[in-house]
């Protein structure tokens, strides 16, 4: 494999006790069709702050919502992945974007609105937000990004870093290796950045956008379409790419998705993507989930950001 070098990053230039104020410049919905789940693309102007030239796609920024919780304590900091390329939104290095889903849940018969996500979603251009960061030193594109192929697995807003990475690879670097994005969500109405991703798929023969819709139809064996089941159902495309020794896997989204992907990689004998810390039964289905979680980890070729 080509040598894998990750860029050096400076972490937490701004901390919880020393946040910086940035200005909202845009805030729009990124689901194409009308959806009960509202996801927004929000862009901040970081001009005049030490964040300029110091945030990379794959990192996160912290957001400090104003006000206090029911106990009178300041609201907790929440981390949001950067969804603009390292060069900035639209090539403007003072603009950094993130992707925010409104958290709307029912807990014990009561409506619960996520504090930070709804605060951010309600913002208008010109509003000021207190942010911290950047955070994250590993979920990054390598310095020599051109030397690799990429399989990106995203669920829900886990798409955020991949939007920026895809823009960076294709729009800025004229990427000529293979890149596949496997995106999972419950319904077609939950697809995010669809126009952009479909356009990239059409424009670049070496970019492939695979959708995995979990609650509309089932696989032949009755199971749900999950991002990891695409490793089986889209074998023709994925197996040759995964077999190359300069391919990297990136996983971003809901906690638990990585275990499903690792299990399928094990089944397919793709152990180069894994760090297996204990001898396990040959029949992968016999491995208890707890053991999978404990003993099968990401190798140097796999990057994960799950939450
Ligand atoms: P489902 O909820 O139908 O079981 P979102 O963040 O927009 O809710 O999307 C998360 C997506 O990930 C959904 O399609 C969800 O399916 C799917 N999902 C749930 N559990 C797993 C898992 N263990 N591995 C992969 N995907 C999963």
Ligand 1 atom closest to residue 190's alpha carbon, by position in its atom list: 7
pLDDT confidence bin for 297, thresholds 50/70/90: very high
pLDDT digits (tens, 9 = 90+) for 18-63: 999 999 999 999 998 888 899 999 999 999 999 999 999 999 999 9
| Interval between CA 151 and ligand 1 midpoint (Å) | 18
Give φ, ψ of 273 to 5 degrees.
-90, -5
The alpha carbon of 210 and the centre of ligand 1 are apart by a number of angstroms equal to 15
Report the CATH architecture of 20-135.
Beta Barrel (2.40)
Average pLDDT over residues 153-182: 97
Question: Among residues 286, 266, 285, 267, which one has the least CA distance to residue 276?
Answer: 266
Which residues in the chain are classed under CATH 3.40.50.80? 145-306
What is the rounded distance in angstroms from the CA atom of residue 267 to the CA atom of residue 283? 8
Mean pLDDT confidence for 197-214: 98
The whole-angstrom separation of Cα 168 and Cα 57 is 9
Residue 269's DSSP bridge partners are none
Q: How far apart are CA 212 and CA 185, in angstroms?
A: 7
CA–centroid distance, 199 to ligand 1, in Å, is: 25
* Residue 189 CA, ligand 1 centroid: distance in Å: 14
Kindly list the protein residues whose Cβ atom lies closer than 6 A to any atom of ligand 1: 155-156, 184-186, 190, 214-215, 224, 226-228, 254, 256-257, 260
- Flag whether pLDDT at 228 surpasses 90: yes
Report CA-CA distances (Å) from 191 to 64, 154, 158, 195.
28, 11, 12, 10
| Class in CATH terms, 145-306 | alpha beta
- What is the Å distance from ligand 1's center to 215 Cα? 9
Residue-averaged pLDDT of the chain? 97
Model pLDDT, residue 128: 98
Q: Which residue has the tokens 């590993």?
A: 138
User: Quick one: pLDDT at residue 96?
Assistant: 98
pLDDT in tens, 91-136: 999 999 999 999 999 999 999 999 999 999 999 999 999 999 999 9
Where do you find CATH 2.40.30.10 in the chain? 20-135
Q: Residue 280 pLDDT more than 90?
A: yes
Q: Does residue 188 register a pLDDT over 90?
A: yes
The atom of ligand 1 lying closest to the CA of 260 is 24
In the predicted model, what is the mean pLDDT of residues 208-228? 98
Is residue 1 over pLDDT 80?
A: no
What percent of the chain has pLDDT above 90?
A: 97
Q: Residue 106 is encoded by which pair of tokens?
A: 């029912």
Nearest to 130 by CA among 175, 75, 82: 75
Q: How far is the CA of 256 from the centre of ligand 1 (A)?
A: 9
Are residues 85 and 167 in contact, defined by beta-carbon separation less than 8 angstroms? yes
> Mutation test of ligand 1: which of 101, 186, 191 has the most ligand atoms closer than 8 Å to its C-beta?
186
Q: What is the pLDDT of residue 173?
A: 82
Per-residue pLDDT tens over the stretch 66-97: 999 999 999 999 999 999 999 999 999 999 99
Atom of ligand 1 nearest to the CA of 212: 14
CA distance 285 to 219: 18
Best residue among 254, 257, 262 to mutate for probing ligand 1's pocket (most ligand atoms within 8 Å of CB) is: 254
Structure-block tokens of residue 175: 């990427």
| Dist CA 244 CA 242 (whole Å) | 5
Question: Residue 2: pLDDT above 80?
Answer: no
Tell me if residue 157 falls in helix, strand or coil: helix
When computed from its CA atoms, the radius of gyration of the chain, rounded to whole angstroms, is 20
Q: What is the pLDDT of residues 232-264, one digit of tens each?
A: 999 999 999 999 999 999 999 999 999 999 999
Peptide bond before residue 81 is cis, with ω within 30 degrees of 0:
no
Mean local confidence (pLDDT), 130-144 = 97
Nearest CA residue ID for atom 5, ligand 1: 156
């Amino acid at each position: 494999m080509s040598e894998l070098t990750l860029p050096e990053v400076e972490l937490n230039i701004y901390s919880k006790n020393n946040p910086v104020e940035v200005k909202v410049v845009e805030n729009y919905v990124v689901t194409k069709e009308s959806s009960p789940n509202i996801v927004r693309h929000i862009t901040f102007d970081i001009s005049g702050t030490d964040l300029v030239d110091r945030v990379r796609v794959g990192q996160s920024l912290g957001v400090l919502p104003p006000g206090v919780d029911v106990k009178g304590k300041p609201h907790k900091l929440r981390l949001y992945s950067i969804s603009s390329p390292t060069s900035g939104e639209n090539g403007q290095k003072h603009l950094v974007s993130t992707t925010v889903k409104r958290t709307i849940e029912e807990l014990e018969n009561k409506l619960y609105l996520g504090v930070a996500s709804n605060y951010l979603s309600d913002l208008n251009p010109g509003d000021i937000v207190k942010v911290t960061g950047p955070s994250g030193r590993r979920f990054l594109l390598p310095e020599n990004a051109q030397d690799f192929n990429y399989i990106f697995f995203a669920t829900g807003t886990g798409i955020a870093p991949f939007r920026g990475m895809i823009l960076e690879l294709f729009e800025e670097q004229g990427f000529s290796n293979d890149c596949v994005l496997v995106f999972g969500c419950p319904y077609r109405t939950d697809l995010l950045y669809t126009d952009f991703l479909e356009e990239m798929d059409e424009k670049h023969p070496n970019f492939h956008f695979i959708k995995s819709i979990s609650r509309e139809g089932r696989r032949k064996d009755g199971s749900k379409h999950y991002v990891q089941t695409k490793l089986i159902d889209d074998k023709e495309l994925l197996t040759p790419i995964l077999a190359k020794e300069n391919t990297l896997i990136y996983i971003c989204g809901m906690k638990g998705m990585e275990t499903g992907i690792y299990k399928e990689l094990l089944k397919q004998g793709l152990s180069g993507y894994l760090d297996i810390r204990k001898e396990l039964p040959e029949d992968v289905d016999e491995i208890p989930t707890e053991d999978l979680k404990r003993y099968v980890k990401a190798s140097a070729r796999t990057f994960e950001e799950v939450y």
